[in-house]
Amino acid sequence: MKKTAILFLLCVCCNSTLFAARKQILLNENWNFRFSWQVQKNSERRVDLPHTWNAQDALAGEQDYFRGVGNYRKMIDIPEEWKGKRLFLRFEGANTVTNLFINQQHVGEHRGGYGAFVFDLTDRVDYGKPNEILVRVNNALQLDIMPLVGDFNFYGGIYRDVYLIVTDEQQISLTDYASPGIYLVQEKISEKEAVVNARVMLSNYAATEEAELTVNIFDGGKKLLSEKKTLTLPTGINQPQEIRFTLPSPRLWDGRKDPFCYQVRVDLAVNGQIVDTVSQPLGLRYYTVDADKGFFLNGNPLKLRGVCRHQDRPEIGNALRPMHHREDMDIILEMGTNAIRLAHYPQAPYFYDLADESGLIIWAEIPFIGPGGYEERGYVDQPAFRANGKEQLKELIRQHYNHPSICMWGLYNELKTIGDSPEAYIAELNALAHDEDPTRPTVAASFLGDDNALSPHSDLIAWNKYYGWYGGSFADLGRWADGIHRQFPAYKIGISEYGAGASIYHQQDEVKSGDASGWWHPENWQTAYHIGNWQAIAERPFIWGSFVWNMFDFGAAHRTEGDRPGINDKGLVTFDRKVKKDAFYFYKANWNTEDRFVYIANRRHTRRTQPLTTVTVFSNLKEVELFVNGKSLGRQTPDGYATFTWNEVALSAGENQIEARSVNGKDRKSDIVLWSWK
């Protein structure tokens, strides 16, 4: 056997959800890539996964970035001893249409760019020989696949991990919409008792066998209980079996306060031997949403202070690795966030794991996206499009069913009702979501007028509102919210998006609006925008949650605004994650009560044109003292929103040192900036 084949076989890793006879082999390294138009011999180049071919052109603001077919080819050895096993190829995500060929024979197709999918290779490979894998991925717009439009880049490629999975012929199914094959249905949850129904999908590719299914519950390394079921396993795939169990006095998954999870390990045994094992998290929680009082987790009020997140970065596009997801999560948690809307599509499985561990409430959604204020359409009334959307909704729910962080399934974003109206179809999606998962509510993000036909077709309804950026003023948000709450008292109202663009290079003395669609996006206006909008949200308990648009700047090739084309700069953090804008610290001061800090706003406006200025400080401390060139200008306590303000501060000609300092000498926090005048 060749050295490469030996190394390939040694690269067997046990995923946190996969044990026993199942083997999972990461196939990310050493693929040969070419575009479909590169038909000459030797036109391939080596790439490693995750990979996108649009990391350069889309992020350079080229609106006609390449949307077509890319080819990924790789040789793997399939050992003779794998005969009698089942072989599957699992893709965590490839955008948008994926066709798989083994040894130049077509295996199958997957249509959709954001969910996982699995192909069965067992009868397609040559055992004891090298086998060629060819994956053809197409990210061109197609009218039968969601999304049809979106204010973000549709990066093409195999941008998430790929695994070869080897199992016995009897297994916990891998082919039920690429789910883990286990659904932990939380039927009754309270502080006194948790009743859970473990619904397990089984597959048997051999003759009928007597089997035993065991569900084990662990608290760390301690086994709490074990429930068994003896069954006859006939030939066939995706056969459901159920085992119900009860935990007395359970420890609840309680958001950021206590994101505790049990572990559920499901064993499948045949002839007394375990042939497959899968483990899943079990975070027990119950929650409700009240039209007047908002969101409640485990019986306690919890206003969802959220952000939205896109999955891309400079230079690599959407081909993120674990370290990128971890860095994003660390920044989100630092701000004191307790909820995330993962817009506008299913995101990496690892990020949902991080949300579980961190105690964040997740709004997960399918990519059913309308044009908002742009041209094109988000919905086409044709059977193929409707069927594809339902398939993507099933993938989202089944693949991520067991994540305790996910508390709502999103159905759409910014759809219009003119022309082909999606109203009847949204009602179908809502019914499908409840059939798939009766335990979670549905939600939608609207931008239509208050009295529109779509809003009643989801359990929760939220609006994308940009008062103070795309027209209007900050005060309009509160007036709008009060009005719609009066008009529709049964609606459970959220704010799905609100935000303003900001460049860290655009600084000004005056606090005045920039040009939303132009090249001037001053940072201090974004700060003022968020102060005004958050006040309106915080003062209204009926708003169950709000989600800043966006946590990070992100790529949108069609945008021509801000300090460069191709970027939506509404993020609280720059695209490269290196600079947290002033508005980030406003939220951190209001939302994070543990990480004590002092932060001087407008810090990047270093060359002042006026001798008198306002110094604004964000801090979660109770008292802050300001010094200018070593002279104290007095102590202040914050207003109701963690903001300290010193007006008409005189600057000296030349360089000035501005220092904000806590008054507690034992644990002193301070911040210093240098501003020049003249």
- The 10s digit of each residue's pLDDT in 458-481 is 999 999 999 999 999 999 999 999
How far apart, in Å, do the first and last CA atoms of the chain sit?
74
The pLDDT of residue 339: 98
Structural domain range at position 58:
3-171
In a domain, 291, yes or no: no
Q: Are residues 494 and 587 in the same domain?
A: yes
In a domain, 628, yes or no: yes
CA dihedral 270, 273, 275, 276 (to 10 degrees): 100
Instruction: Give the 3-state secondary structure of residue 523.
Output: helix
| pLDDT > 50? residue 19 | no
Q: Are residues 412 and 351 in the same domain?
A: yes
| pLDDT > 90? residue 451 | no
In a domain, 295, yes or no: no
Q: Which residues contact 371 (CB under 8 A, 6 or more apart)?
A: 149, 377, 378, 414, 416
Tokens of 305: 């202070």
Largest CA distance in the chain: 89
Neighbours of 424 (CB within 10 A): 11
Instruction: Give the 3-state secondary structure of residue 453.
Output: coil
In a domain, 300, yes or no: no
- How do 69-78 and 45-47 pair as beta strands? unpaired
Q: Which residues contact 485 (CB under 8 A, 6 or more apart)?
A: 491, 493, 540, 542
What are the pLDDT digits (tens) for 551-563? 999 999 999 999 9
Domain ends where: 171, 196, 212? 171
Beta partners for 677? 608, 654
- Residues 83, 86, 91: CA angle, nearest 5 degrees: 130
The pLDDT of residue 6: 32
In a domain, 298, yes or no: no
| pLDDT > 60? residue 171 | yes
Q: Report how far residue 71's alpha carbon sits from residue 69's, in angstroms, rounded to the nearest whole number.
A: 7
Q: Are residues 434 and 546 in the same domain?
A: yes
Q: Are residues 248 and 383 in the same domain?
A: no
| pLDDT > 50? residue 500 | yes
- How do 361-365 and 406-413 pair as beta strands? parallel
The pLDDT of residue 185: 98
Nearest in space to 311 (alpha carbons), one of 290, 335, 341: 341
| pLDDT > 90? residue 20 | no
The structural domain count of the chain equals 4
What is the number of helices (H) and of strands (E) in the chain?
8, 43
The pLDDT of residue 375: 80
Query: Which of 414, 523, 561, 625 is the catalytic position?
Result: 414
Residue 17 sits in a domain of what CATH number? 2.60.120.260
Q: Are residues 622 and 532 in the same domain?
A: no
432 to each of 92, 143, 193, 409, 637, how far by Cα in Å? Answer: 23, 22, 29, 11, 52
Residue 627 sits in a domain of what CATH number? 2.60.40.10
Q: Are residues 575 and 485 in the same domain?
A: yes
Q: Are residues 239 and 155 in the same domain?
A: no
Q: Are residues 135 and 204 in the same domain?
A: no
Q: Are residues 584 and 609 in the same domain?
A: no
- How do 31-35 and 236-248 pair as beta strands? unpaired
Specify whether the CB–CB gap between 644 and 576 falls below 8 A. no
Amino acid of residue 432: L
Nearest in space to 247 (alpha carbons), one of 236, 263, 271: 263
Nearest in space to 526 (alpha carbons), one of 542, 550, 546, 495: 550
Q: Report how far residue 285's alpha carbon sits from residue 304's, in angstroms, rounded to the nearest whole number.
A: 16
414: annotated active-site residue: yes
Confidence band of 449 (pLDDT split at 50, 70, 90): confident
In a domain, 105, yes or no: yes
Q: Where are the alpha helices (DSSP H) in 437-509?
A: 475-487
Residue 156 is given by DSSP the state: -
Q: Report how far residue 404's alpha carbon sits from residue 277's, in angstroms, rounded to the nearest whole number.
A: 21
- Which range, of 112-121, 446-455, 467-476, averages the lowest pLDDT? 446-455
Q: Is the peptide bond before 383 cis (omega within 30 degrees of 0)?
A: no
Instruction: Give the 3-state secondary structure of residue 393.
Output: helix
In a domain, 297, yes or no: no
In a domain, 396, yes or no: yes
57 to each of 156, 244, 314, 416, 556, how far by Cα in Å? Answer: 11, 52, 11, 30, 11
Mean pLDDT of 624-632: 97
Confidence band of 1 (pLDDT split at 50, 70, 90): very low
Domain ends where: 171, 204, 231? 171
Rg of the Cα trace of the chain?
Answer: 27
The pLDDT of residue 2: 39
Q: Is the dihedral of CA 389, 392, 398, 402 positive or negative?
A: negative
Confidence band of 448 (pLDDT split at 50, 70, 90): confident
Beta partners for 218? 223, 263
Main-chain dihedrals φ then ψ at residue 137, nearest 5 degrees: -115, 135
Specify whether the CB–CB gap between 430 and 368 falls below 8 A. no
Domain ends where: 594, 624, 657? 594
Q: Are residues 167 and 273 in the same domain?
A: no
What are the CB-based long-range contacts (under 8 Å, 24+) for 346-349? 346/93, 346/114, 346/115, 346/392, 346/395, 346/396, 346/399, 346/400, 347/114, 347/309, 347/311, 348/92, 348/93, 348/160, 348/311, 348/320, 349/92, 349/116, 349/399, 349/400
Q: Are residues 399 and 361 in the same domain?
A: yes
The pLDDT of residue 7: 36
Burial of 154 (0-12, 13-18, 19+ CB in 10 A): buried
Q: Are residues 474 and 576 in the same domain?
A: yes
Instruction: Give the 3-state secondary structure of residue 152.
Output: coil
Residue 440 sits in a domain of what CATH number? 3.20.20.80
Specify whether the CB–CB gap between 540 and 481 falls below 8 A. yes
The pLDDT of residue 9: 38
What are the pLDDT digits (tens) for 344-383? 999 999 999 999 999 999 999 999 999 877 788 899 999 9
Q: Which residues contact 272 (CB under 8 A, 6 or more apart)?
A: none
